[in-house]
Amino acid sequence: EMIYTDKNRVICLDYNHRDCDYTKITDKTKKIIVFVDGCEGIADKDLLIALDNACEIIISFNGGKLTEKMLVK
């Protein structure tokens, strides 16, 4: 089972889907984290391409900048 957390609490279990009030994005949101999950058979480079594509779309509609990108296994 996959668990996403920050320093204070669990953000979500398994898949980052149907966010709660704590994690939802609003017009006042200043920073977000984009998760891209993979599994056996999906190459790391394909996950990074998916992450880049998601960030490009988000930035094109909302502005901002990508400040950090990492692959965690």
Tell me the average pLDDT across 12-36.
Answer: 81
**pLDDT exceeds 70 at position 57:** yes
pTM: 0.77
Give the contacts of 69 (CB within 8 A, at least 6 positions apart): 48, 51, 52, 55
So what's the pLDDT on residue 72? 84
So what's the pLDDT on residue 2? 80
**Cα distances (Å, whole numbers) of residue 60 to 15, 50, 64:** 25, 15, 9
**pLDDT exceeds 80 at position 16:** no
* Cβ-based neighbour number of residue 37 at 10 Å: 12
CA quadruple 27, 31, 45, 71: dihedral sign: negative
**pLDDT exceeds 70 at position 19:** no
Tell me the average pLDDT across 11-21.
Answer: 74
